[in-house]
Amino acid sequence: MPELDGKVAIVTGAGRLRGIGRAAAVKLAEMGADVVVTGTGRKPESYPPDEKAAGWKDIESTAEQVRAKGRRALPVVVDITDRAAVQKMMGQVVKEFGRVDILVNNAAFARGEDRLPLLKVDPAVFQRVVDIKITGTFLMTQAFVGALKNPKGARIVNISSTAGKAGSPNTLAYNAGNFALVGMTQSLARELGPQGINVNCVCPGAVETARMDVLSRKDMDAIAAGSALRRNGTDEEIAELIGFLCSEASSWITGQSININGGTVMEH
């Protein structure tokens, strides 16, 4: 039997064709889990060219990939910054599957409007970055833990960034959100560990996903050239680490924020 057979995972921000959320959902399905995939309900006209060409249907297409692995899938449009919406979604998950076991907090504000010098950052944009990354993770985690019928063996994986380990100019909101997520991971690990719940954080560097499309190919290649391994990562590579942290092999790992970035940032 696959290791996660009979377990139910929730992955937020899982609607993009080239994205960590989609790859994580598919990886967990390969490991045997049924998967709930959430998204914001993007309008088709906003999809990047490759998604339009592929006939991509956001979280429904991710759900189809999960089903193709022989697992059940539930796509849900939800605003994770809305407590009532999150609680309603969690109730729907428990009603559909009878349980929850794994939570991957992957959702994040789209890169772009937040990457400006301090004096040009719109306070509303700053707040939205923080709301999604911090408040969204808090609300999802609170609802998830409250829904656990058997906490022992449950897993929470937060997706931060190398921006949660090292600051950089014109990245204030993103640094704030991701540094906070590293601290939240440590706090949750201390609090929930006695119940048998492992909480860890993944800190990717530059990954070849749709989120990075705001950068030119030249910029992405420059980032790769500055890494120890001289390349950027893939969503599947991040998903492999997420899968490991949801497996029994990681049972004695908790409270950690693990870099996976080809060596661009090596701070602990």
Which residues are catalytically annotated? 174
Dihedral sign computed on CA atoms, order 245, 133, 137, 88: negative
Burial class from Cβ neighbours inside 10 Å (0-12, 13-18, 19+) for residue 232 reads buried
Cα 76 from Cα 41, distance rounded (Å): 9
The first and second tokens of residue 159, run together, are 């997706």
Q: Beta strand pairing status for 102-105 and 8-11?
A: parallel
Tell which residue, 31, 158, 146, 150, has the closest CA to residue 89.
146
Report how far apart, in Å, the C-alpha atoms of 137 and of each of 83, 181, 249 are. Answer: 11, 8, 25
What b/e string do you get for 20-34 counting C-beta neighbours within 10 Å, with b at 16 or more? bbbbbbbbbbbbbbb
Helix 20-30 × helix 59-68 angle, to 10°: 20
The answer to whether 174 and 121 are in contact (CB under 8 A) is: no
